[in-house]
Amino acid sequence: MKTIITDNVKRFLELQEKVNNQIDKEGIAESKVADELEEIGDKLSYEEIDSVIELSKSPMTKLEKVLYESPMKDRNYEKHGYGGCICCYKPMKETDCLLVHMNEHWMALNPDFVTEENCFELTGSNSQGWFPIGNDCAKKMKGFVFNPNK
Ligand SMILES: [Zn+2]
């Protein structure tokens, strides 16, 4: 089965996360949020519902991922100093540059879901912005890398 991520799927997952957080913290969800969740739930197609179930199985691992750390990092740091790829400090041409969105817990964020605006709401930590990541290291972070040239 292919997971599809439509606007409604995204919104549904966002709201579900919000409702779960509110229930965790306050024992009850805001009725405005719960109503919108129900409303969007009614609009989902069967395919979208399957995708929501698939993505809900481990929502946090879909939203955040520990950043890959290259074994070459120390060596590159000694050679080139800080800069370039965030995972290995290898210098990069700006044109080759892919980006990874990080929050203040230093977790990489799934660009399909997490934006600078909803970052705190979804991950409990503010956005730190976008950092360059080289092609090789990006392969280790599949699904968490954004290509600005596409
Ligand atoms: Zn790298």
Write a three-state SS string for 17-30.
HHHHHHHHHHCCCC
pTM of structure: 0.68
Distance 88 CA to ligand 1 centre (A): 4
For position 139, what pLDDT does the model report?
A: 93
What pLDDT, on the 0 to 100 scale, is given for residue 61? 66
pLDDT in tens, 72-119: 999 999 999 998 999 999 998 877 789 999 999 999 999 988 999 989
Q: How far apart are CA 61 and CA 65, in angstroms?
A: 6
Task: Report the pLDDT value the prediction gives residue 111, as an integer from 0 to 100.
Answer: 93
Q: What residues are neighbours of ligand 1 (ion), with CB under 5 Å? A: 85, 87-88, 90, 134, 137
Q: What is the DSSP letter of 11?
A: H
Cα-to-centroid distance, 70 and ligand 1 (Å): 7
CA of 69 to the centre of ligand 1 (A): 8
Residue 134 has pLDDT above 70, yes or no: yes
How high is the pLDDT of residue 1?
Answer: 63
Q: Is the pLDDT of residue 41 over 90?
A: yes
